[in-house]
Chain A
Amino acid sequence: MLGRNSISFKKRMNFVGVCLYNILLKSSRDRVTGIHFFQEMIVTLFDIIDILDAKVLVGRDQLNMEVRTAFSADLLSDVLAFAKAGSLLLTGLTNPQIVRTSSILDIAAIVLVRGKVAPDETLRLADELNIPILSTRYILFETSGRLYEHGIKGCVEKVGRDDYVSL
């Protein structure tokens, strides 16, 4: 009897726990609290290699680096205008400017998409400036989507003014 009671008590508490969990999770998703209480996803470059079936071109010694946000673009002008420090840069560009731009912005690491392999001068510069470069055969859309599924978010959601009306 006591055993049964204690199980149902446990079940009840479990139910309360799940409710609380959902409320907190929802509020954190809604950005009411801004803090994710549960399921804080930690994604490292090691995980990203798995997720994207990627190769490491530069920075084998930095693969335990954690990443939470990313920015995708093939236009460095836009990277400079919108990317945030500590983010991943997903791009199809391979020139040395991607490394210098990343260094200027404190980008954590670069992921080359569509199977791009960077020229030696880009790799040398990345090595010198300590910026890891991975390469994946997935296209930019797939790369972004797969990382999003694993909890990596855009470093910004939208840009421009709220009253912007598209024609």
Chain B
Amino acid sequence: MSFNYEQSFTIQGGNFTDAGVVSVFIKRTLQKMGIPSEILRRVAIATYESEINIISYARIGIIYIRVTPENIIINIDDEGPGIENIELAMRAGYSTADEKIREMGFGAGMGIPNIINCSDDFKLTSEVSKGTHLRILININTN
């Protein structure tokens, strides 16, 4: 099996009604390519959590996904307030979500921990009042 695919998606901050559209699209596209379901699930959860994060906190963000025969790389770049304390943000249960986010059912502080659980390699860098960069790597094990 060989997979080759790359695409970028722009996501508007604050657009709560469309939260998840991009992730559902990515999942369907990868499903059609024949990516194994367990891998597919991890990619879908990671992109969905990232998409929710952009919509909840940033002004605008880009999700870039590249699929190769060996792995899937997801880069998420956003322009926004950034994360003041990365260590805290990575802790399960810590959240700075406002009422609007919580009303939708999110903001329990599980987002970043959940992304980490889904990735084989994970890198989070952020600059306060500029933006956040996330790099997620998921290996495709075709054995």
Contact = CB atoms under 8 A, between A and B. Distances in A.
A101 to B, nearest CB: 7
Contacts of A93: 105
Interface in B53-73: none
A144 B41 CA distance: 25
A80 B109 contact: no
Contacts, number: 67
Contacts of B138: none
Given A85-B37, A97-B105, A104 B48 contact: yes
A81 B114 contact: yes
A105 B20 contact: no
Interface string A32-72: 00000000000000000000000000000000000000000
Interface residues of A, number: 22
A146 B95 CA distance: 34
A76 interface: yes
A162 B113 CA distance: 18
Interface string A100-127: 1101111000000000000001000000
Contact of B17 (A78, A80, A96, A104): A96
CB-CB nearest 5 A-B residue pairs:
A100-B20, A77-B108, A76-B105, A77-B110, A104-B44
27 contacts: A75-B108, A76-B105, A77-B108, A77-B110, A78-B110, A80-B48, A80-B49, A80-B110, A80-B114, A81-B114, A85-B41, A95-B104, A96-B20, A97-B19, A97-B104, A100-B19, A100-B23, A100-B24, A101-B48, A103-B20, A103-B24, A104-B20, A104-B41, A104-B45, A104-B48, A121-B17, A129-B24
